[in-house]
Amino acid sequence: MRVTIFGSGYVGLVTGACLADAGNHVVCVDVDAAKIERLKRGDIPIHEPGLDALIKRNAEAGRIEFTTDAAKGIEHGLFQLIAVGTPPGEDGSADLRYVLAVARTIGTHLNRYAIVITKSTVPVGTADKVRAELTRTLSERGAKVEFDVVSNPEFLKEGAAITDFMKPDRVVIGTDNPRTTELMRALYEPFTRNHDRLIVMDIRSSELTKYAANSMLATKISFMNELAGIAERVGADIEKVRIGIGSDPRIGYSFIYPGTGYGGSCFPKDVQALIRSAREVNHEPRILEAVEEVNARQKEVLFHKIGRHFSGELKGRVFALWGLAFKPNTDDMREAPSVALIELLIKAGARVVAYDPIAGAEAQRVFAGRAGFTLARSAYEAVDKADALAIVTEWQEFRSPDFERLRQLLKQPVVFDGRNLYDPGMVARFGLTYYAIGRGTPAAHA
């Protein structure tokens, strides 16, 4: 099938590469000429395990190509996927200017039937706006061209996006046209052959499903972080509580790990956008507001633990930090808890020496020219002569460190573990003072 994708960011590239790998001919369109040239050279601008090889293989086979020529892309595709960014506005609402700009571009060049698909995460009612923009632009041209608008939200996890696309839990299709349903079913058939994962619904329900899914997962994270705060104060171990409640199949173990809060490009933005959407229809989303409030507070938890341990005397101290990306297997630092912690430490007069296996280049961009921030080439280089170690991202290589070496390298043998990677008793046996999230007696975390 002929597929055109507008937007060569995370969603666009993963979607395009996976569709091409199934034998479709995909054209990716982007207004960023420099990015398109990088992609043509095989230089992938994002980190996602397996994506480089997938794009390389399909580009060499002629199944995926990259261009800034929107007219070429629109002429090419029966399916026109909109996968551009929807950044949050100052009020938390999703900014639809890029989505609607693509709709106008499609309307300007469309000469035959096409299915226009909103793949970007968008508020309820966006498909109606896309349809109206297409209709208006075609009318201004005096052109009578048939089209359908479909909502097809993505459910890709950064770090596992290719597997998520190739073996989806579900493929949600929002449409008001049975013919479109069958065409979408055919597009996704290579990925749903073992089990029919296609869930067809009306467009507005499809749009809300994406926000609802991410907000539910964010809620689980904030709920566990709230429980962790209680556990610290009553002398319980949140990790034992997690196992106790996760064994209940109605709850399960996914997304009930306490930590330093959620980040990334999806959860913060989508929770805020759903709050805004609710208020626009005169509904006060109290649970969602609490989710966001708890998450903002949780990003400061490690800083407050550090401050209490050092009696507020942080000026001139050096802190090692392991993990910069908001989660493992990505270089994405958008809304990352690490950024919040680094900013607070630098503001308090401390210096930060950080290490991340993948996100170093992104950190250089985020903290370019920022005094008080240094990147280390290895985890142990970061801790050398540091006053303490803070762990913010649960990369695999941090799970079983040489504790004896840590104790020798650190100026003070103190570890602040924001991901509960270690057994407190084992760490203590190596002579390290260990602070975790929601573990131990209240006195240990006072």
- For 156-168, the pLDDT digits (tens) are 999 999 999 999 9
Q: Note whether 91 and 276 are within 8 A (CB).
A: yes
CA–CA separation, 120 and 117 (whole Å): 9
| pLDDT of the residue at 194 | 74
Task: Tell me how far apart the terminal alpha carbons of the chain are, to the nearest angstrom.
Answer: 61
C-alpha distances (whole Å) from 291 to each of 29, 212, 251, 294, 311 are 36, 13, 18, 5, 30
- What pTM was estimated for this model as a whole? 0.91
Of the candidates 5, 359, 435, the one whose C-alpha atom is nearest the C-alpha of residue 187 is 5
Query: Which positions are catalytic?
Result: 266
CA–CA separation, 277 and 211 (whole Å): 10
pLDDT in tens, 304-339: 999 999 999 999 999 999 999 999 999 999 999 999
CA–CA separation, 407 and 405 (whole Å): 5
Going by pLDDT thresholds of 50, 70 and 90, the confidence category of residue 195 is confident
DSSP 84: -
Q: Note whether 145 and 110 are within 8 A (CB).
A: yes
- Mean pLDDT value across residues 97-125: 96
DSSP 41: T
- Mean pLDDT value across residues 413-419: 97
Q: Is a pLDDT exceeding 90 seen at residue 94?
A: no
Q: Is a pLDDT exceeding 80 seen at residue 213?
A: yes
Which residue(s) pair with 321 in the sheet?
354, 390
Q: What percent of the chain has pLDDT over 70?
A: 98
> Which regions of 311-366 does DSSP assign to beta strands (E)?
318-322, 351-355
pLDDT in tens, 343-389: 999 999 999 999 999 999 999 999 998 999 999 999 999 999 999 99
At 174, give phi and psi (nearest 5°).
-105, 115
DSSP string, 262-304: --SSSHHHHHHHHHHHHHHTT---HHHHHHHHHHHHHTTHHHH
Q: Count other C-beta atoms under 10 Å from residue 329's C-beta.
A: 19
Per the structure block, which two tokens stand in for 413? 């043998």
Antiparallel, parallel or unpaired: β 388-391 and 171-174: unpaired
CA–CA separation, 303 and 392 (whole Å): 11
CA–CA separation, 342 and 367 (whole Å): 10
Provide the CA 189 distance to its chain's centre, in angstroms: 26
Q: Count other C-beta atoms under 10 Å from residue 381's C-beta.
A: 13
CA–CA separation, 79 and 72 (whole Å): 13
| pLDDT of the residue at 444 | 40
DSSP 363: H
CA–CA separation, 217 and 161 (whole Å): 17
CA–CA separation, 220 and 399 (whole Å): 23
Contacts for 105 with CB less than 8 Å, ≥ 6 apart: 6, 70, 74
| pLDDT of the residue at 24 | 98
CA–CA separation, 296 and 319 (whole Å): 22
| pLDDT of the residue at 440 | 67
Task: Please give the mean pLDDT across all residues of the chain.
Answer: 95
Per the structure block, which two tokens stand in for 107? 């309307």
pLDDT in tens, 261-304: 999 989 999 999 999 999 999 999 999 999 999 999 999 999 99
Instruction: Please give the radius of gyration of the chain, using alpha carbons only, rounded to the nearest integer.
Output: 24
| pLDDT of the residue at 23 | 97
Q: Is a pLDDT exceeding 80 seen at residue 445?
A: no
Total residue length of the chain: 446
Per the structure block, which two tokens stand in for 250? 């109605």
DSSP 171: E
